[in-house]
Amino acid sequence: MASASVMLVQPVGEMWQKIREELNENVNTRDQDLAAIKDWLKKQPHLPDEWEDRCLLTFLRGCNFSLEKCKRKLDMYFTMRAACPEFFTNRDITRPELMDLMSRAQGPTMPGLTPAGRRVTICRGLDKNLDTHQLNDAFKIAMMIGDVRLMEEIEGVAGDVYILDASIVAPSHLGKISPSALKKFFICVQEAYPVKLKEVHVVNSTPLIDTLFNIIKPFLKEKMRNRIHFHSDYKALHEYVPKELLPEEYGGTSCALNEINLAWVKKLEEYKDWFLKQESLVANESLRPGKPTNYDELFGIDGSFRQLSID
């Protein structure tokens, strides 16, 4: 079984060097950049005074060490923590509803890295009777994994590849999907997390997925829409993702996805106390200089991203 202690293999050697260059990371000035962000954070009355250095470094890397972009991302991250308690509170993976969901749907990040230094995450449902009312909990777990990665991507990666398995999507799901939940989730992914999304591969795609994509499309930036690929079988997927990084369920030679998923359950259990401490680290809009964030404007289901200007 995949050990939770080796969930994320870190880049070394030539790959490490290439990733440093891609992230615009200068090991000689990195500590100065980190100190500048920490100093900025202390001066923001509406944001937490302190946060783990590891998390801040992950944000800097995700922003190519642009201090201004990093500040905007961090502000949005803590803003979303306050604005979306359905995603960022009660994050105890041992709660029965979350354990049940982890047994009926999976979204683990694989341990290894592609030749380009990218991390691969695979999401699939196992139960055709999954109810869309569990969508918020699914998004919660996805961001729990994302937060663990803020801590444990010690060397940084050159981006992310997501594989979405559409095999259990049914017509009954489409009418029950909450546009509000979708929009909040995609704002988090695109604006609040230091994610460099390089590719999205939808496997077991059917005409029904085209309909679902049309529902989701308004919430996606054009850059992200252009990075989505649809595949009817796994053979086409292998042209993008090496077999050694894919589990056996997808024609690969890595650990079974079930094993990786169980290892992530254990890892999330280890972070139980950490998640609880994080709940108080949110933006306080009553202390924000200038105009407080208007959640209604931010989350209005009108396709508008007026407030979101981060590249």
Residues 147-163: tens digit of each pLDDT? 999 999 999 999 999 99
Output the pTM of the full model.
0.91
Domains annotated for the chain, with CATH where assigned, are 103-133+155-178+190-257 (3.40.525.10)
Residue 168 has pLDDT above 90, yes or no: no
Confidence (pLDDT) at 9: 92
Pairing of strands 119-125, 109-113: antiparallel
Cβ-based neighbours of 217, under 8 Å, separated by 6 or more = 225
Pairing of strands 228-230, 119-125: unpaired
CA gap 114, 201 in Å, rounded = 15
Length of the chain: 311
Confidence (pLDDT) at 255: 87
Confidence (pLDDT) at 26: 96
CA gap 191, 308 in Å, rounded = 7
Confidence band (pLDDT; 50, 70, 90) for 303?
A: very low
HEC letters along the chain: CCCHHHCCCCCCHHHHHHHHHHCCCCCCCHHHHHHHHHHHHHCCCCCCCCCCHHHHHHHHHHCCCCHHHHHHHHHHHHHHHHHCHHHHCCCCCCCHHHHHHHHHEECCEEEEECCCCCEEEEEEECCCCCCHHHHHHHHHHHHHHHHHHHHHCCCCCCCEEEEEECCCCCHHHHCCCCHHHHHHHHHHHHHHCCCCEEEEEEECCCHHHHHHHHHHHHHCCHHHHCCEEECCCHHHHCCCCCHHHCEHHHCCCECCHHHHHHHHHHHHHHCHHHHHHHCCCCCCHHHCCCCCCCHHHHHCCCCCCCCCCCC
Residues 184-221: tens digit of each pLDDT? 998 999 999 999 999 999 998 888 788 888 888 888 88
Residue 62 has pLDDT above 90, yes or no: yes
Residues 123-132: tens digit of each pLDDT? 998 888 777 6
Cβ neighbours of 48 (radius 10 Å): 17
Residues 263-292: tens digit of each pLDDT? 999 999 999 999 999 999 999 999 999 888
The chain-wide mean pLDDT, for the chain, equals: 89
